[in-house]
Amino acid sequence: MKIRVLKLKDREVELEIEDEGHTFLGALQSIFLEDPRVEFVGYNVSHPLMPKATFMLRVTSGNEVGTVLKDGVKNLNAKLKELESRFLEAYGDVEK
């Protein structure tokens, strides 16, 4: 995954994310939709055969977009670790 900052302001960021699609970007978007500091979040995959997507995030007044972005990524990581833990708890080592 490659990430390039297209636009960065005090309250908003626009990122170009390569080699990711709706699955990853939808999960990331849902994390930010739960955050009351987020005013707008969205992404655009211009075409399924194009390996680039645009991700946009705007935060409410009084918040820094970098802080909210970092918190959201940490939150997504924590949820994925929880999923892994519950999966292993339920199914153990499925390679047996």
Contact 56, 43 (CB under 8 A): yes
How many domains does one find in the chain? 1
Instruction: Quote the pTM value.
Output: 0.84
**For residue 26, what pLDDT is reported?**
95
Which residues of the chain fall short of a pLDDT of 70? 93-96
Helix (H, G, I), strand (E, B) or coil at 91: helix
**For residue 45, what pLDDT is reported?**
92
Specify if 96 maps to a domain.
no
- Boundaries of domain holding 79: 2-91
Specify if 75 maps to a domain.
yes
**For residue 49, what pLDDT is reported?**
79
**Cα–Cα distances in Å, from 76 out to 6, 51, 92?**
22, 22, 23
**For residue 79, what pLDDT is reported?**
94
**For residue 66, what pLDDT is reported?**
95
For residue 77, give the CATH number of its domain.
3.30.1360.10
Specify if 72 maps to a domain.
yes
